[in-house]
Amino acid sequence: MSRRALQIVTGVLAVIPMLTGAIGMFGLSDPLYAGLALPAAPLLDGNLRFLAGVWLGLGLAMVWLIPRIERETALFRAIWGAIFIGGLGRLLSMLLVATPPAPFIGFTLLELMGAPIFILWQSRVSVRR
The range of the structural domain enclosing residue 21 comes to 3-128
Gap between the Cα atoms of 17 and 15, Å rounded: 6
Per-residue pLDDT of the chain (129 residues; tens, 9 = 90+): 799 999 999 999 999 999 999 999 998 888 888 888 888 899 989 999 999 999 999 999 999 999 999 999 999 999 999 999 999 999 999 999 999 989 899 999 999 999 999 999 999 999 876
Q: Taking the model in full, what pTM does it have?
A: 0.89
Gap between the Cα atoms of 108 and 113, Å rounded: 8
Cα 57–59–61 angle (5° rounding)?
Answer: 70
Number of separate domains in the chain: 1
Local structure of 42: helix, strand or coil: helix
Gap between the Cα atoms of 95 and 24, Å rounded: 24
Asked if 73 contacts 124 with a C-beta cutoff of 8 angstroms, the reply is no
Asked if 28 contacts 48 with a C-beta cutoff of 8 angstroms, the reply is yes
pLDDT at res. 9 = 97
Gap between the Cα atoms of 44 and 60, Å rounded: 24
